[in-house]
Each structure stands twice: as C-alpha cells, then as structure tokens.
Chain A
C-alpha cells in the first residue's frame, strides 16, 4: 500500500471498494460540506424542528425525506423556501410542521402565491401583493369561479393545455389543495403500508398529540422527545418498505448544503481571480483560479451524484437539471481544454457562463423545477435516453464554452486590445467538440426515438431545432473553410449560433410549446430570454462596428494567414502542374 493509499484509507476507513466504502467516502465529503454550512446553526433557539427531517414521506411517486417534502411543498405553495410570518422567518420544515400540527389559524396567514398579475387584477386582488391567505382566496368568488372553470375545461378536454388566467387559476387551485392537504395531514403519507399507498397519521396518535401540546407550550424538551419517538416509531414500521437510510440522509444533506450554489460561488471566484491576475501574479492567479474551478466541479459532481442516487436515473430530464448539467459541461470542457492548451482563456470563458446558468437555474424555482421526481413513462430510465440527452446537452455546453470565449474575444476587440488569435483558435476547438457532440446526440436521439416511438425522425420541434442549431454551426464552420470569414467571424458566429441553441433548448419548450417532447414544458421567463438575445445581438453589433472602424487586433493577421496559405496552395498547385 502506498503512502497515499494509506492516508486515504485512514480517512475513509478500510480499503473496501464496494458500495459501502463508496457511500462512506461520499458521505465523508458530504459531512465536510455539512460542517461548513451548519456553522451558526440553531438560531431557532426555542424548538428544534430539524428532528423530523429524516422522517420518510411518500409523495409524488417516491419516498422522500420530510425535509425534501416540506421544501417542495412550501416552494410550490408560496414560491419561496422560507416564509416570514409575524416578522419571524419560518424555514420550510418548520412551517409545514406547524401547519400539520395546527398550532394556529394558518388560514389567516398570507402564504399562497398568486403569481400572475392579470389573474390578481381579474379577481380583484391587489396589484402588487403576491401572497394571500387561504381565507382570502377561498372567499374570493371570482377566483373560485375561475378555478372551477379551469377544472371544467380540464375535464372536458384534458389534452389541450390551459392558457392565460385559467392556467394560473388552476395553479392557485392546486396550491389551495396543497394547503388543505398539509393542514389536514392528508398529504403527509408517513405511515408505511405493505405494497400499497402509504397511510396518513391519525390525529389521535399519542406522539402527535404530545408534539402538538409541546409546541403549544413551547416546551423544547417535550417536543424533541415526542418528535424523536414519532420518527423512531414510523421508521421501525415495516422495515422492508422503508427506503435505505443513507438515501434519505444524502437527500437532506443535498438540500441543506446546496452544492450547486457553492459551485456557482467557486466558479465566480475562479473567474474573478483569473480576470484580475491577467497581468500581475499570473502564475499564482492561474493556480488559484484552476483550483477554484476544480473545487466547483467537484461540488457539482457531488450534487449530481446525489441526485442520481436518490432518483436512480440520469440527471437531465427537466429544464433545471439540464441547465445545471450544461453549466457543469461548460466547466468540464473548460478544465479539460485548459489541461491540454493551458492558455487560461478556457476556464476564464467557462466560469462566467457556468455562474450565469447556475444563477438562472437557482433564481426561478417555479419555472425551473429543482425537485427530484420520478420520470414520465416515455423518459423511463434507459440507455439510449441517457446517452442521447447527455450527449446533446454536452454539445450545448461546448457551444456555451465557445460563447464564453467569444465574449472575451469580442470584448477585447471592443476594447481595442490585441492578442485575440489564440482566442479564435480556442473557439474553434470548442466548436469542433460541440458539432461532434450535437451531431452524435441528435442522431442518438433518432435512435432512441426509433426505440421508444418506433420511428427514426419525425420532425418533432425539439429534434428539428437541434438540427437547426447543428446546421447553423455547420454553416459557421463551412463559411470559414470557404474563406468567407476568419477568426473574428468565428467569434461573432459562436455568439449568434448560440441563439439557435437557446431556441432548441429553451425556446421549443417555453416559446413554441408544441410537439412530443412535452414532458419538459413550462412557461415564463420569456422576457428574460428575449432580453438576453437582444443584449447578445447588441454586443455583436458593437464588436463588428469597432472592428470595422478600427481594424485592430489579430484579425488582420488572421486574414493574412488565410491569404498567405491560399496563395501558397495555389502556387503549389501551379508548381505541381508545371512539374
């Protein structure tokens, strides 16, 4: 055993490379994160609501930790993960527990989200306020009527999705139902049953009553004891029906730590460090930037691993997961290229893109659903699905990396700086990877469609837009081979063509809203997407304008290279002919 292995085994236990060992090691990494993030915990001085975190609830087609359940429910109901009640911040788990135990008249607390301003105006609610109490909403005749109307339309024709106010009203209706489900305890399926849907806890359960009483008295000890007893009792029921403990533990850890958020912070750090040390402290800055980048990648890796272990499937089945995966892919390619070419632009280009994607994914949990849920049948875990989606999204990631580097290059052009050539080459390398992966992914998609639907290619909007994105990048590369444009054109194209990727990735689901790939459908965020596209176009226009008027940077050189090589080749040809 080498010394390194020895230390490894000291830290992680014996050199057992089985599943247990793996879980141990994985758990160790997690506990490190845990320690970091739980410093300064326990501010809820009086009562400890975290005891029931690991209680198992069956909901949404799987068994999950109560903590996850509370997080998802509160997010769905209020649109946020914490709720301020009477000036006190209630975390999700505390809120759900209090509602379940019924310690006050929760019907009067504004906590149900009415997100759409049109619906609010249509129902005579306030223009600005988004949260309303259950009583307010149930008492609102206009809203209740709209919810009924939406339900009626649904039952008449379940295929056509609802639109406009009706859609929003039906969302509010579901939130109201969620509220009732928690208040009455009907959503909390915590009592294990054999081979069927789990049951709900009786309100007469002694532990439940004691918990409730302790909560009313603010009796810290009593509450903790009752909660522990309840958890123990439930966990001991029907052990064969219980999910493995480690699964629940990492699920909770995942939610507490937010590894993707940490990764975003680390990538941001890497970008800042690399940008600041471009002239001074190059060596140290490069080392630190790379280290931060790697640390972020590891954090993301841990996050993905958790999601895979919890859900038992590849982590790219909804918009949230694919955004995060693309962020990961961007950094991944950035780091790989960096290890090969070592020009610091790969990581510098990748980090901001990754940070931006992670921020987008994190910012709108209602639009990009971060919850871990089972798959619709057509996405049922299988080899082709995994490969197809992973490959395509990795292709997107490569293009995103090209986009990041193109921004640096065009930024330099706008600033009038030189030394852009190396950036153009970097962009070209990224585009190559992207084209390969997108082509392979699209064809793999066809293979999968052949498996799943029996047909190879059916011009489904999602696959068609993947094809359009591919064609646009092929256009870009062929145009360069044809000598229509050089490195600068490549950079401009990397930005422009990415807009087609955006359309294939986001637009088809959120703008077009048609076709077979309807499992990823949602709405919203269109304004942001459009402003992003407009900003990108403006950026490109400014860059072209600067370039035209100043003709600086390496593009002259670049063009000369093309000219020289072209003249050489024709000379060679002529020479050959003469021979």
Chain B
C-alpha cells in the first residue's frame, strides 16, 4: 500500500491544471490576452458569486411573492441571462487557455463544455419551447388548444374589429397609480391605462335612489368568529335572502304580529271510521292503517312519518314541533261501559288514541314566505322617519322587535353576528360593485380570487382635451367593455392559447388510493392523440413519474421534439376531468448531453490521473517537471505526514 499510496496528498493537482498557461506566451499577444482575461479565474469566481447570490435572492423573492415574479425579474431577466452567457464565454475561454490540450485535460474540458452545452440547451428550451396546461374531460370533443402560462391582453380595435394580442401579465408587472401601464390602440389613437392590480376582488351589492324603484334596504352582517362579513340587498316583495343558509332576511311592507297559542288535542283515530277529535286543533292528523299494524302521523307542516303500532304504543315523543303521546290501541274497538275496549285480538276495527300537545304559531296581518317561519329569520319593513322596523324570528316565534337607523349596528342573537343597516331607500334599485379586497378585511362570501387590473379608456377629442372613461376592473378570463363617453372598446385578459398540430381526448382517468385511505396513490390518464395531418391516432398513458408523449417514438423522445403530458391538477369531486401539464422542449437532448458530460468530467478531473506519457514529457522539454513539483510539494508536507505515516505503519 505504501508504494503507490496517496498520489494526491498535497494540492499539486490544482497547480498542474494551471501549467498549460505557459504555452500561451508564444501566441498572438492581443487575442490571447483577451482569451486569458475572459477565461480568468477571477472572472469565474466573480460569476460564481454573482449567480449564487442572484439565485439566493430569487428564492427569497419567490417565497415573498410568487414564482412568476422571481422568474420574470431574476431567472428569466436579461441581466441574469447576461451573467449566464458571460459564464459560458468564461468557460469556453478557460478551456482555450489550456491549449494545446493533453490527456489530463480531458476531465477539465468535458466538465466545462458540459456546462456550456447544458446552458445552450436551456436557452433553446426557453426560446423555442413552451409550457402550458390542458384540461380534458371524458366524453368531451377533442381539443387542439393548450393554455400557456403566459398572460395576454387582447384588445378589439373599434375601427376595424381586428383583435390585437399584447403580452401582458398584471401579476408580474403589477400596475399601480405610480406605475401606470399605457396600451396604445393602433390606428385609433386611443389609449388604455392600467393603474391598479388585485389578486382578490369582491362583488358587493349597492343600492341607488331611483324614482322608478320600490323600497330597498342594504344590510351588512358581521361574524367576528368566522371573520366574515356579508352585505345583503333586498327589494320589497323579493324572495328572502339567505345568509350562508344560517338565516333568512326579508323585506316586508309592514311587520306582521306573531301569536303563539298553546294547543292540546286528543284524537281517537279509526282505520275504518272518521277520527274523533277533542280540544284545540293542533293542525296534525293520525291515519291508522286497515290491518292495524302501522300508523301514519301527519304534522302541522305537512311532514309525515310511519310507525309500527307496537313501536309507539305507550310512548311519548317529539315530531314536527309537537309532543305526541300514543295512549292506547284497540285492535277490535268497542265501547264497553263507557270505556274503550277490544273485543278480541283480531284487527277488525283498529283504533288508536293519541294526545298531541304543543304550540301553534300564527302570523297575523300578512303572509310570510315559508322560509321565514322556520329557523332563524330577520324581517325588515320601512317605517316613518327614514327608519326601518325590524323583527328577529326563531321558528316563527318573535324574539326581538325595534327600529333601526341607517348606520346603526345591533346584535342579531345568532352566535356573535351583528347586523348593520347600511342604506335604505324608499324608491331605489339594487346594483353591484366590484372592488379589491383590502388587506386585513375579513373575507366575505362576495370575494373571489382573480387576477385583475383596473383600466380606463382615454380618447382624445378634437378640441385637444381628452375624454377619460370610468375605471373598470378587467378580470382574467372575461371579456370586459371599457367606455369613455360614447366610445367603447372590448378587451380580454387571460392566458394565451396555443394551437398544437394534433387533437387530444381523455379516454380514461383513474385515481387509485392507498389502502384504506382516500389518499391518491397515483393518477393515471389515458389520452388519445390524433394527428391533424394524417389523422393517425395514438393512445398513451400519463402516470406519476411517467408522462405521456406525442408523437412518441424513439427519435422524438430522444431529441425532445416531443410534447410531454404529465399530471398537474385534479378535481377530487369530479374524476372525469383532469388537468395535464404540456411541455415542449427542443433543447432537451443538449441538456442531457451536458449533464452527462459534467458528471463524467468531474469524475475524470478528480480521480483520473493519466500517467505522464514519454512523448508528452519530451514535448515539454522537461521530463522531470512533474516529479520535481511533486517532490517539492511533498517535502513541504512531509513533516506533517509523519503522524499519519506512523499511524499506517501501526
């Protein structure tokens, strides 16, 4: 072991790599000076540091904002690409400084060229490839459109109705009042100015005074626990508005009175005869079946339930808001000594005695919709002096009654919800307003996620001044009309669609689960592709870690001139739909070759030391060079190695 031991116990290998530089002295001064400058280690160190710091900064940006912004401002920005190209030049130049190359340079050159090839592949992919999504549904007609993850702003020219497509991503450029973005509409000399951006909008009702309208109110509910608020606008006579299904709100002409009456009724029900009733009519009924085995109870609200007679005999229970007690049952009824009795056990004339107790609620002075007399409710009615009269209901029973002024807030008695009268018009209409959700504000149900920007149309007038339209929120995925006076422009904002040379159709989508859980273990989508040119179809399966390909085949897969489909999103509630990511990357092969070259290169660089060939030595005119260098290096270290040597001898 001690003979050929530890070739590299000192750092000579690093120095060895640099000795080739000497050969440059012979060459054309200026050119080689430039090469040496571009290929200098100082520049390399600088670039490594700059790129590393930029990347670190980008990841922080991404965590702080989002991936799109990090990509736009750093990874895919011109200056970052500039540093990368400079790195390529540096890598290329440094290999030239080793000229003429020798065997020992193989690893060095392979590594450095590998990085260049990889970066070129990446550049090709960036320029010529694309990435997008396609959502496919089983049974839907085939599609040939892919949604790219590039946003565009489309403007329909009012003059010739041509549609102009401008690349614009509001989530990246984030227009604001200080950073306005101006779109010039060609030929028309009109402008569209974007001056705000929002990720979350809310659609809220508002009311306006309008001579032609009827009474309208706008109330706001705030739930502290749920951190939500909801505005409700109602017109008199409209169906009650529902508040998260928890309560109903209704605007009536005037408030009715609610009366509660205690009722008690005994019903002797017969299967064959009409029943005999006694007491205050509770609104309920008892139907006994002919065979005397089953009985149907009908509540005041129309609900009914069927019981076996045995089940309920002698029992007392609640049903439809009333208390029911089945006091007796006689299969073959007869009156004996003034008391009900049974002749025998044959069900010839079944009879049942039921007592019903409870309350009945009456609305006096008006008809209310069914929803209002059940569960929680709030009835409002216009009153004198710009006030609104209110009444809280719980199951048709009045809980609280009073008057509300505009701006006044009162507790509702439903958990910790409060209600505020925001506005009230005796003659008004209901409209809708879209605005961004401000930070810190609770998320109401009117809020929705959208990438939207605010834009207005600016049209110059003959007199030299301009006509500015109302700012409007342009939401992603919708067509919006911008107006300025009589002028109007239709605009659209959203993701760009790309046509591909084939049709796609989803044949099957399966989501196997991990045993005993709902956790998906895989996503398997079978897709059918049809070539537009020759109408040939091909099926492929996209699974986790296994994308589907089109056109497929060895050559296409190897070169990357191939569309790859991999699972991106799915809808747990609808398994007939899946969203696939589509990728087309023509720089793919170069990336692979580069990667392989880098790995092999590093191995050679670190662990392969070719034996100094005699020819090589002679060429240099100093055969003893390497040995001498090693000897000097070793001698300097020798002292320090005694310890380890001793150790090994042991």
Contacts and interface: CB of A to CB of B under 8 A. Distances in A.
Interface stretch (B52-60, B175-183, B425-433, B490-498): B52-60
Given A343-B647, A447-B595, A480-B11, A569 B18 contact: yes
A448 B547 CA distance: 11
A435 interface: yes
Given A419-B643, A432-B606, A573-B19, A286 B546 contact: no
B17 interface: yes
B583 interface: yes
Interface stretch (B210-218, B384-392, B629-637): B629-637
Given A471-B51, A481-B17, A455 B131 contact: yes
B640 A557 contact: yes
11 contacts: A58-B515, A198-B516, A283-B650, A377-B544, A422-B643, A461-B63, A465-B55, A512-B63, A565-B629, A569-B19, A573-B19
Interface in A447-498: 447-448, 450-457, 459, 461, 464-465, 467-468, 471-472, 474-475, 478-482, 484, 486-487
B647 to A, nearest CB: 6
Contact of A484 (B22, B45, B521, B566): B45
A513 B432 CA distance: 38
Given A58-B516, A453-B581, A422 B640 contact: yes
Contact of B48 (A60, A465, A478): A478
A48 interface: no
A196 to B, nearest CB: 8
Contacts of B546: 451
B500 to A, nearest CB: 15
Contact of B633 (A467, A471, A561): A561
Given A145-B225, A448-B545, A515-B62, 11 more contacts: A152-B226, A196-B516, A385-B545, A455-B583, A456-B585, A478-B41, A479-B45, A481-B17, A561-B10, A562-B11, A568-B629
Given A283-B650, A421-B637, A455-B131, A481 B599 contact: no
A436 interface: yes
B14 A422 contact: no
Looking at B125, B545, B564, which has the most chain A CB atoms within 10 Å of its CB?
B545
Which 5 pairs across A and B sit closest by C-beta, in order of nearness?
Answer: A573-B22, A61-B514, A421-B640, A482-B41, A343-B644
Interface string B496-517: 0000000000000000001111
Contacts of A564: 632-633, 636
Size category, A interface = 35 or more
A474 B109 CA distance: 16
A475 B602 CA distance: 15
Contacts of B51: 471
Nearest to B619: A576
Nearest to A193: B516
A377 B568 CA distance: 12
A342 interface: yes
Contacts of B125: 456
Nearest to A460: B67
A566 B21 CA distance: 12
Contact of B640 (A419, A443, A481, A560): A419
Looking at A421, A486, A487, A515, which has the most chain B CB atoms within 10 Å of its CB?
A421
B201 to A, nearest CB: 15
Given A422-B640, A569-B15, A576-B22, A467 B55 contact: yes
A576 B523 CA distance: 67
Given A282-B647, A421-B637, A461 B62 contact: yes
Contacts of A225: none
A486 B637 CA distance: 13
Interface string A268-294: 000000000000001100100000000
Interface string A412-443: 00000011111001001100100110011001
Interface in A362-407: 374, 376-378, 380, 382, 384-385
B206 interface: no
Looking at B6, B583, B647, which has the most chain A CB atoms within 10 Å of its CB?
B647
A63 B515 contact: yes
B583 A377 contact: no
B420 to A, nearest CB: 22
A508 B58 CA distance: 12
A343 B633 CA distance: 19
Contact of B59 (A425, A465, A560): A465
Contact of A568 (B49, B520, B620, B632): B632
Contact of B522 (A380, A450, A461, A568): A380
A579 interface: yes
A436 B602 contact: yes
Interface string B414-446: 000000000000000000000000000001000
A189 interface: yes
B588 interface: yes
A432 B443 CA distance: 54
